[in-house]
Amino acid sequence: MSEKAAAASKSFFTPFNVVAGIIVIIGLILTALRFTGGLAAVTNLSDYNPWGIWIGFDLLVGVALAAGGFVTSAAVYLFGMKRYHSAVRPAILTGFLGYALVVLALNYDVGRPWRLPYPFVIQQGTTSVLFEVAACVALYLAVLFIEFSPAALEWLGLRKARRIVVKLTLLLTIFGVVLSTLHQSSLGALFLIAPSKLHPLWYSPYIPIYFFITSIIAGLSMVIFESTLSYRYLSHKMDETHLKEKNDVTLGFGKAASYVLAGYFAIKVIGISAGNHWHLLGTSYGLWFLVELFGFVALPCFLYAVGVRDKNLKLIRWTAVLALLGIILNRFNVCLIAFNWHLPSSERYFPHWMEIGISVFIVTIGVIFYKFIVTRMPILYKHPEYSDSH
Amino acid sequence: MSISRRKFLGWMGAAGLGTAFGSPAHAAANKHFKGYPESLGVLFDNMLCIGCRNCEAGCNKVNELPPPDRPFDDLTVLSKKRRTNTKVFTVVNRYDHFKGIKNPLFRKIQCNHCLEPACASACFVRAFTKTKEGPVTYDPSVCVGCRYCMIACPFEIPTYEYDEPLTPRIRKCTMCQPRIIDGKLPGCVEICPTEALSFGKRGDLIKIARERIKKYPDRYVDHIYGEHEMGGTSWLYLSGVPFKELAMREDLGVTPAPELTAGALSAVPMVAGLWPVLLTGLYAVSKRKEKIAKIEQQQAIASTLEKANAEAESKLSKALAKAQKEKAAAISKEVKKALEEAKKTQEKEGS
Ligand code: SF4
Ligand code: SF4
Ligand code: SF4
């Protein structure tokens, strides 16, 4: 209580609040433009380029970066890595917020957002990969909400409800892993239907597997990245266990990420040889592909390994940033840069600043909610009255 | 564990994920769908097309589309490459300078009405239907506006009303489905002043096209575009030059679109069925490991304790023994001293 009072007495105009406030105001204006003028008013989308950064970034990158929830809960609850327990709640929270924002962003992108339930309640297009994505994302959002709820219930002091939810942990974790496997890979499978539009170096029958594996890399790196940020800005909210385990998490997840990146590198190379696309590596798209493969897969793999060997936490943290950029680059390549590569440059897509504005707005909402929740609910610390495992 | 797993699988089924079983995409993967028998189509022959834009005008009229940017008799627009859009369901583009052909050639663009449409397979509300008459129709009353159909269509046909804030629709050629059902010709076919567009049963059109190629082998390339492209289309093309040169893609292959995603979709029940089993197994293994580790730890603690006790005891007894020895030595030393002193005093007294 005393803390709340102290916070209230502090000026409301902190740098964070001012910046966030400005972004939110601009975002609301852009929202109004979107829903009065249509997509044409705020985007550069066209009949050749029906998907822009709201899909490439908000959906594809958003879902990948929110993979920390299923990766961490699987590691702790299924694989028995109890020493990373303190990482579960922040990861679930980020996952939940991430998916919620993905759904929010979709409301901007699709033409008639109120019809988003139609594929389930009116007519099921089960031949569509998008149907699978939609079903899994919707279900997983619900799962994440339940997984996150104990923190909220502790905050609200609802013991009974919390006890029931905690009992479901194992079931929810398994359910979450299944759903994540399905939709993370299906996001890649969305592009299977367009072999004539996606550059052959990125188009591969393995693309669902690539998307799934990269989501694990994204999840691991995101946990490291996020713990770095929250330590920097919210360390006063962390309890001793969290602080103690923090470096353990960074080392352990860095090591895991290094392994997964190595595996990913290998299957990428296998993909090229399976499609026999070696000759394409000499083209300009080939060079770009190599930049992605070496700069954003091989390099982070190596740096993670060095960081873990030398116990160099700083290096691991920076590598996490590099790996995350690699994920963003990969999703952009598949959805935007190597997509429609056959079109003349005059027909290619480049985002309108207002599209970027909406994306920034949505990310900002996420940060605001994250901050709101971790400063109130037991995310970075254990609630003293619930000392049993959460 | 088994109960919750079964429950879990039940939920997955109830959640609709199980519906991926036996979906049309799978049926497509097993047998080659040759299209509805008797279905209709249109044959476009670019050696007969004169580039008059009448079809564009006819299409505009029968579909009640907004007036064009430039009147239909203005042929200067042909010099620019155009595409279909929400207000134009068909366009004719001109291609100049072909070896051995003195006139320019034209290409008419509209929906090809694929036999197994990518758009229909991609739509997650089944807004598209391949009708048995041939046209691929679109139902705006269910469309969500996700535009995945546009991503999927290999011919880049569906267009979207980007300027509609609340009720955007996909727009594309309907093959004049309402007219066909009434026994009328499609608007563009009806108005065409030459034989460039022929309407009929797809099977017959293929025969006609073959005959033309046979009769004029020098005029036509030996290929009916649309017979097999992407599994075949209802709209077919004959050309005097390779289709590539008319910007028609020849690298699309013959695989129907639904087959491209059938593999990924068939993996769904596999993942949904196998993952929980494997994960539960992993969980059990890690639980057991934990238990064993705990037992081992306890044992280790116990044995260390024992050892420590034993050590402590032996140390203690050693210390005791040492202390006793020391004590004894000290006593004997004291006694000796005392004796010596007594002796000394005796000697003193004696002297
Ligand atoms: S051409 Fe495109 S829009 Fe037309 S039926 Fe085929 S996939 Fe659908
Ligand atoms: S935009 Fe409409 S028709 Fe096209 S795939 Fe999405 S829901 Fe289906
Ligand atoms: S078939 Fe009908 S809708 Fe299609 S291009 Fe011809 S006139 Fe237009």
Query: What distance in Å separates residue B78's CA from the closest CA in chain A?
Result: 18
The answer to whether A217 and A254 are in contact (CB under 8 A) is no
Note whether A118 contacts B144, CB cutoff 8 Å: yes
Q: Rounded mean pLDDT of A22-34? A: 95
Closest CA to B189 of B333, B77, B179: B179
Is residue B163 over pLDDT 50?
A: yes
What does the pLDDT average to over B140-156? 95
The pLDDT, as a whole number, for residue B34 is: 64
Query: Beta strand B136-138 with B159-160: parallel, antiparallel or unpaired?
Result: unpaired
List, as one string, the DSSP characters of B23-73. -HHHHHHHS-----TT-EEEEEETTT-----HHHHHHHHHTTPPPPSS-TT
* pLDDT over threshold 80, residue A9: no
Pocket of ligand 1 (CB under 6 A): B 111-114, 117-119, 136, 153, 155, 157-158, 172
**Ligand 2 close to Cβ of residue B197 (< 6 A):** no
Quick one: pLDDT at residue B28?
42
A172 to chain B, closest Cα gap in Å: 9
ipTM of the prediction: 0.90
Q: How confident is the model at residue B328 (pLDDT cuts 50, 70, 90)?
A: confident
- Please enumerate in sequence order all residues whose Cβ is within 8 A of that of A38, keeping only pairs 6 or more positions apart, or say none: B161, B162, B163, B164, B165, B168
pTM > 0.80: yes or no: yes
pLDDT at B349: 61
DSSP B184: P
- The pLDDT, as a whole number, for residue A222 is 94
pLDDT band for position B47 (50/70/90)? very high
- The predicted model gives B13-27 an average pLDDT of 40
Q: Examine residue A386 and state whether it is found in any structural domain, yes or no.
A: no
| Burial per residue of B8-37, b for 16 or more beta-carbon CB atoms within 10 angstroms, e otherwise | bbeebeebbbbbbeebbbbebbeeebebee
Q: What percent of chain A shows pLDDT beyond 90?
A: 69
Is the residue at A7 inside a domain?
no
Name which of A124, A185, A191 is nearest B16 (Cβ-Cβ). A124
Q: Give the pLDDT of residue A383.
A: 81
Evaluate whether residue A3 is within a structural domain: no
Pick from B297, B294, B317: nearest CA to B305: B297
pLDDT per residue as tens digits for the range B215-230 = 999 899 999 999 999 9
Contact A26, B155 (CB under 8 A): no
Which one is predicted more confidently, A32 or B335? Answer: A32
**Could you tell me if the CB of B63 is within 6 A of ligand 3?**
yes
CA of B249 from ligand 2 middle (Å) equals 24
Return the H-helix or E-strand segment holding A98. helix A88-109
C-alpha of residue B117 to centroid of ligand 1, in Å: 5
pLDDT at site A237: 82
Q: Which domain holds residue A356?
A: 19-374
Q: Which residues of chain A does B17 touch, with a Cβ-Cβ cutoff of 8 Å?
A: 132, 135-136, 182
Q: pLDDT at residue B2 above 60? A: no
User: Separation of B134 CA from ligand 1 center, angstroms?
Assistant: 12
Say if A317 falls within a structural domain. Answer: yes
pLDDT over 50 (residue B9): no
Instruction: Identify the residue whose tokens are 């007519």.
Output: A123
CB contact at 8 A, A109 and A58: yes
Q: Do B279 and A177 touch (CB under 8 A)?
A: yes
Q: Return the H-helix or E-strand segment holding A274.
A: helix A240-275
pLDDT (0 to 100) of residue A235? 79
The residue nearest atom 8 of ligand 3, judged by CA position, is: B59
In this structure, how many other beta carbons lie within 10 angstroms of the beta carbon of residue B154?
24
Report chain A's C-alpha Rg in angstroms.
21
- At B267 the pLDDT is 85
- Tell me, what's the pLDDT at B316? 81
Q: Give pairs for A271-275: CB < 8 Å, separation 24+.
A: A271/A204, A271/A206, A271/A210, A272/A201, A274/A204, A274/A205, A274/A206, A275/A200, A275/A204
User: Looking at the predicted structure, is the pLDDT value of residue B200 above 50?
Assistant: yes
Give Cα separations from A77 to A69, A175, B280 (angstroms): 12, 12, 10
Q: Which residues pair with B198 in a beta bridge?
A: B43
pLDDT at A231: 83
CA distances from B158 to A116, A120, A291 (A): 20, 23, 34
DSSP output for A308-357? HHTT-HHHHHHHHHHHHHHHHHHHHIIIIISBTTTS-GGG-----HHHHH
Q: Which residue out of B6, B7, B91, B162 would a mutagenesis test of the A interface target, given it has the greatest number of A Cβ atoms within 10 Å?
A: B162
Question: Quick one: average pLDDT of A64-93?
Answer: 90
Q: Is residue A5 part of a domain?
A: no
- The reply to whether A38 falls in a domain is yes
Query: pLDDT (tens digit, 9 = 90+) per residue, A236-245?
Result: 888 888 888 8
**Spacing, Cα A367 to ligand 3 middle (Å):** 50
Give the helix/strand (H/E) hosting A376.
none
Residue B107: strand, helix, or coil:
strand
Q: How many angstroms away from the CA of A200 is the closest CA of chain B?
A: 12
Domain count, chain A: 1
User: Is B123 close to A125, i.e. CB distance below 8 A?
Assistant: yes
CATH number, domain of A56, equals: 1.20.1630.10
What confidence score (pLDDT) does residue B36 get? 77
Ligand 3 atom at minimal distance to the Cα of residue B179: 2
Question: What mean pLDDT do residues A318-343 have?
Answer: 95
* Pure H helices in A110-235: 118-121, 129-156, 159-167, 169-189, 207-234
The reply to whether A159 falls in a domain is: yes
Establish if B248 touches chain A: CB-CB under 8 angstroms: no
Question: Has residue A238 been placed in a domain?
Answer: yes
Q: Whole-angstrom Cα distance, residue A389 to residue A386?
A: 8
- Is there a contact between B144 and A174 if contact means CB atoms under 8 Å apart? no
CB contact under 8 A, A127 and B258: yes
Cβ <8 Å between A50 and B160: yes
Residue A92: pLDDT over 70: yes
